[in-house]
């Protein structure tokens, strides 16, 4: 048994019980706290109230050894080092997440904080919208409950966010063999005790700001939701057009080599930038949207994709014009529509430069490792072209428009930069 750190879990549902059993299996003294009497009775009789592959067997191995189940909050919190909140955040009538149950649990903890070890760590594992910790939980603890939170050495407690990435049906396996562990803390500060409890899981641990950790969870779930809706919209388009084998179409789509590898090549598409350009994506997306419309089907997801592709440029133009004076020297890095290519057809860099000129920026220098001459011959723009990267960036406000590998070092070092490719 790892007697150095005691872990307490508030809420023993799908996430909470899996978390409790997982830490107990790694040797940490773990107390699971649950307020529902029927669930507590079931668990104290060593019966899990839902099915998760491997969880019952693991529970049997650790129960009353390193895992203890209780509805006594005093017993749960006594000498606790790290407290996890795995409490439901049900959807309200207006679609917002109901955080009241977490607030109640934090209040219960605050009333008994004297029982815990010095400066315990409170971990929000429940799924909560980005900014919930900063705008709701930390002020609640600090201002309403008088518990100094996330105030460095003066803190009575530290509050962090640790999103879960568990799939129903394989939750225990996912917890014991995670692909990544995300910890959101104040100012992305590493907390040694959190590293200690997660080190036995042999997975990369990423410390981020509180908002970032909360956002990552929603980024993960909404990406899945959008992919499912995309597949469904495409199937409706296909059925409206007719004579399309939908099952076979998707099976062949799944053979695309971009879906494989570590990391899979598709990851480069699921990344923010200036939008899609080039010869194929804009033309084909618009053409399929038009064809669906001919067949009396409104492909709203394709329509939204095209609109967002326009909106992202306007977003950055507004950002730059509000923050950079018109007499500044601007440096545009990247002219091709994608790296490792000299193809400038429907280049977003060209559209960006045109809009900057229209906004009143007259001192623009551009550089691309491969596409300068093709770009010059394709677009008649009144700008300067640098022959080297160093010449281009000298005394400039830098705008990275294409994600060439050689721009990565600059993106990590220079402060006067608009990294529109988030390299």
Q: Which residues are catalytic?
A: 280
Asked if residue 155 lies in contact with residue 149, where contact means CB atoms within 8 angstroms, the answer is yes
The 3-state secondary structure of the chain reads CEEEEEEEEECCCHHHHHHHHHHHHCCEEEEEECCCHHHHHHHHCCCCCCCCCCHHHHHHHHECCCEEEECCHHHHHCCCCEEEECCCCCECCCCCECCHHHHHHHHHHHHCHHHCCCCCEEEECCCCCCCHHHHHHHHHHHHHCCCCECCHHHCCEEEEECCCCCCCCCHHHHHHCCCCEEEEEHHHCCCHHHHHHHHHHCCCEEEEEHHHHHHHHHHHHHHHHHHHHHHHHHHHHHHHHCCCCHHHHHHHHCCCHHHCECCEHHHHCCCCCCCCCCCCHHHHHHHHHHHHHHCCCCCHHHHHHHHHHHHHHHHHHHHHHHHCCCCCCEEEECCCCCCCCCCCCCCHHHHHHHHHHHCCCCCEEEECCCCHHHHHHHCCCCCEECCCHHHHHCCCEEEECCCCHHHHHHHHHCCCEEECCCC
- State how far the Cα of 170 lies from the Cα of 182, in Å rounded to an integer: 19
């Amino acid at each position: 048994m790892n007697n150095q750190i005691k872990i307490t879990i508030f809420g023993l549902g799908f996430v909470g019980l899996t978390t409790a059993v997982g830490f107990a299996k790694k040797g940490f003294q773990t107390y699971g706290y649950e307020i529902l009497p029927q669930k507590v009775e079931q668990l104290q009789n060593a019966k899990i109230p839902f099915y998760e592959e491997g969880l019952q067997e693991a529970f049997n191995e650790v129960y009353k050894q390193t895992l203890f189940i209780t509805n006594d909050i005093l017993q749960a919190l006594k000498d606790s080092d790290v407290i996890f909140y795995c409490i439901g955040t049900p959807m309200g009538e207006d679609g917002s997440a109901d955080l009241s149950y977490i607030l109640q649990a934090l209040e219960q903890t605050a009333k008994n904080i004297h029982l815990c070890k010095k400066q315990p760590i409170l971990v929000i594992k429940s799924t909560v919208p980005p900014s919930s910790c900063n705008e709701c939980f930390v002020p609640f603890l600090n201002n309403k409950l008088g518990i100094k939170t996330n105030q460095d050495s003066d803190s009575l407690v530290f509050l962090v966010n640790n999103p879960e990435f568990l799939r129903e049906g394989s939750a225990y396996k996912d917890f014991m063999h995670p692909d990544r562990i995300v910890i959101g803390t104040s100012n992305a500060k590493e907390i040694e005790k959190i590293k200690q409890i997660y080190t036995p899981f042999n997975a990369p641990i990423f410390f981020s700001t509180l908002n970032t950790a909360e956002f990552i969870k929603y980024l993960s779930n909404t990406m899945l939701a959008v992919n499912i809706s995309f597949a469904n919209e495409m199937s409706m388009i296909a059925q409206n057009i007719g004579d399309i084998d939908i099952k076979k179409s998707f099976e062949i789509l799944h053979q695309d080599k971009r879906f494989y590898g570590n990391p899979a090549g598709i990851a480069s598409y699921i990344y923010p930038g200036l939008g899609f350009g080039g010869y194929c994506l804009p033309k084909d997306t618009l053409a399929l949207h038009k064809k669906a419309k001919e067949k009396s089907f409104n492909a709203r997801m394709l329509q939204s994709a095209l609109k967002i592709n326009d909106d992202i440029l306007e977003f950055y133009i507004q950002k730059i014009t509000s923050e950079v004076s018109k007499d500044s020297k601007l440096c545009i890095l990247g002219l091709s529509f994608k790296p490792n290519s000299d193809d400038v057809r429907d280049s977003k860099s060209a559209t960006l430069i045109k809009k900057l000129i229209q906004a009143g920026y007259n001192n623009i220098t551009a550089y691309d490792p491969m596409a300068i001459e093709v770009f010059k011959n394709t677009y008649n723009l009144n700008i300067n072209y640098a022959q080297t990267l160093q010449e281009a960036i000298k005394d400039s406000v830098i705008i990275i428009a294409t994600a060439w590998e050689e721009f990565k070092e600059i993106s990590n070092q220079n402060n006067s930069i608009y990294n529109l490719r988030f390299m």
